[in-house]
Amino acid sequence: MDNRVILLDGKSLTLPQVLAVANNKQQVQICPNAIPGIEKSRAYVDKLVNDDKVVYGITTGFGEFSKVTISKDESAELQKNLLTSHACGVGRHLPHNAVRAAMLLRINALARGFSGIRLSTLNLMVEMLNRGLVPAVPEKGSLGASGDLVPLAHMFLPLIGLGRAYIDGQIMSGAEAMAKISLAPIELSSKEGLALINGTQVMTAIGAITVNDAINLMKLSDIAAALTMEALNGIPDVFTPMLHILRPHGGQIRTAKNMLKLLEGSTRTTKVHELRVQDAYSLRCVPQIHGASKDAVDYVLDKVLIEINSVTDNPIILADDDLAISCGNFHGQPMALAFDFLGIALSEIANVSERRIERLVNPALSNLPPFLTEKGGVCSGFMIAQYTAAALVSENKVLAHPASVDSIPSSGNQEDHVSMGTIAARKAAEILQNVKNVLGIELLCAAQGIDFKSGGNMGKGTRAAYDVIRKYCPKIDNDCELYPLIEDIAKVIDSGEIIKAVEEQ
């Protein structure tokens, strides 16, 4: 067996594996050890149907229609209608890596063996993923309970030859896409339509990618702050370890230690009383501010790691106990709260970064040339770059309003509390992009500020970061179009080159 293939059993998937499938198209396979459970669950569903048992979603309609009993002859039509009627999303299509991640997570959840799906159907889903079919999934329409009904319905329409999908970046009908990769659509059997769409996999996929990117942005935020410390002759005494042991929040302690490492060997920073008694909060409180956001990211990461190996189906099939129970594992509240928290934590990183940008460009707050240009008046320097950062920070404040505090009853008030978890995840992802650009502007401004000060050594970590920045973004002597520089630094951030260079030191 190819040891590069990821084996899915519903309980051992890791975040790096999710990212490998989402971003690098890693191949997957149902773990052989999971097959007996899948088949036992399916056999139990068949028994329920054959015995004419009344079980939600298997022999009844859905939501408010759970009061309507469905005959055995109507079972296949019921499952097809479930997908077609629920596929009513709107908006732009989700990014391909998010869709691939969501497909993976749904397959993994079904592989756990509590959903009643046929093994043949599950293997076909695996082949769709492995052969590069990416369903066209509109980003809007999910209430986050009963899971991600709308986007998951779109995701699996190609399985039955409907909907739309991308192959190699080209969009086409679901039937054409299946034919393109030499697969034949199927007719769903009892329970399978519900097994495909009852789950939190879309919100979790978006959130998993975002929390991974957030981990890297947390590292970058320390690097940006340390560069600004160099440009503004900051006072690193505030990072003395004992100060933070006295208030032992994990993120705070780690950040203080990290800042000292980044600035190790610098002769551009100062001591207390040399130039001033203390720095502003945006410098002095970096461990407390960044650290709090890091602790929040750790919390969200923990929730994501739980959810990617959870059963979120409805009803859940407990074949060994002769039970099929319509419970609430599809409810996205655990993830909704976590992703709202993630958005808030990320927003704060941009908030404090923008304040450091202001200190870099404002001559009243620094000993640097106004707006980081020696030709003030004729040139505006980085004046308007701070505007952009401020605009992004302001937008984040709107986006950070928690989605999870809202709920709109649906399905005739049967589903009378919903999580809005997918909205929370999407907002967190959008906030992250804004934060990345704000940090990019700080990196550019800090490097420009450092260039105005001759003499003295930079820290080992800050020097490594500065060299990468200057490799792609030169010092600005005369006004020019700044947007290409901001785009370039964002690409450098995405590449991870700055973090890699610093960590090597």
Phi, psi of 277 (to 5 degrees): -80, -35
SS3 292: helix
Strands 28-30 and 6-8, by their bridges, are parallel
Residue 144 near residue 122 (C-beta atoms within 8 A): no
CA distances from 99 to 149, 202, 204, 218 (A): 14, 7, 11, 25
The answer to whether the bond into 66 is cis (omega within 30° of 0) is no
Would residue 127 count as lying in a domain?
yes
Using 50, 70 and 90 to split pLDDT, how confident is the model at 61? low
Question: Is 227 found in the same domain as 187?
Answer: no
Residue 131 lies in a domain: yes
Whether 323 and 440 map to the same domain: the answer is: yes
Given 179, 199, 219, the domain boundary residue is 199
Stated length of the chain? 505
At 260-311, the pLDDT tens digits run: 999 999 999 999 988 889 999 999 999 999 999 999 999 999 999 999 999 9
Q: What is the mean pLDDT of the chain?
A: 95
Neighbouring C-alpha atoms within 13 Å toward the C-beta of 43: 9
**Residue 90: inside a domain:** yes
233 domain residue, yes or no: yes
Q: Which residues contact 377 (CB under 8 A, 6 or more apart)?
A: none
Q: Domain for residue 486, yes or no?
A: yes
- The predicted model scores a pTM of 0.95
Choosing from 56, 166, 299, 472, the catalytic residue is 56
Alpha-carbon gap, residue 10 to 288, rounded angstroms: 38
Model confidence pLDDT, tens digit, residues 8-53: 999 999 999 999 999 999 999 999 999 999 999 999 999 988 888 8
Residues 184 and 249 in one domain: no
Of 199, 227, 262, which closes a domain?
199
Tell me if residue 56 is catalytic: yes
In a domain, 1, yes or no: no
Residue-level pLDDT at 76: 80
Do 268 and 381 share a domain, yes or no? yes
Render 318-378 in DSSP notation, one character per residue.
Answer: EGGGTEEE--STT--HHHHHHHHHHHHHHHHHHHHHHHHHHHHH-GGGSSS-GGG-TTBTT
Whether 139 and 23 map to the same domain: the answer is yes
Q: What is the pLDDT of residue 1?
A: 39
Amino acid at 37: G
Q: What share of the chain is helix, strand, coil (3-state, %, to 5)?
A: 60, 10, 30
Same domain assignment for residues 78 and 164: yes
User: Per-residue confidence at 64, pLDDT binned at 50, 70, 90?
Assistant: low
**End position of a domain, from candidates 146, 171, 199:** 199
User: The tokens of 357 are what?
Assistant: 């940008």
Residues 104 and 110: their CA atoms lie apart, in Å, by: 10
For the cut 80, the answer to whether the pLDDT of residue 3 exceeds it is no
Give SS3 for 416. Answer: coil
Instruction: State the total domains in the chain.
Output: 2
178 with 272, same domain: the answer is no
Tell me, yes or no, whether 132 and 253 share the same domain.
no
Q: Is the same domain home to 212 and 136?
A: no
* 160: containing domain: 6-199
Asked if the structure places residue 140 within a domain, the reply is yes
Looking at the fold, whether 219 and 320 belong to one and the same domain comes out as yes
In this structure, the number of other CB atoms found within 10 A of the CB of residue 465 comes to 27
Judgement on whether residues 154 and 235 belong to the same structural domain of the protein: no
In tens, the pLDDT along 206-260 reads: 999 999 999 999 999 999 999 999 999 999 999 999 999 999 999 999 999 999 9
CA distance between the termini of the chain:
39
Identify the CATH number of the domain in which residue 490 sits: 1.20.200.10
Mind listing the pLDDT tens digit for each residue in 141-157? Answer: 999 988 899 999 999 99
CATH number of residue 129's parent domain: 1.10.275.10
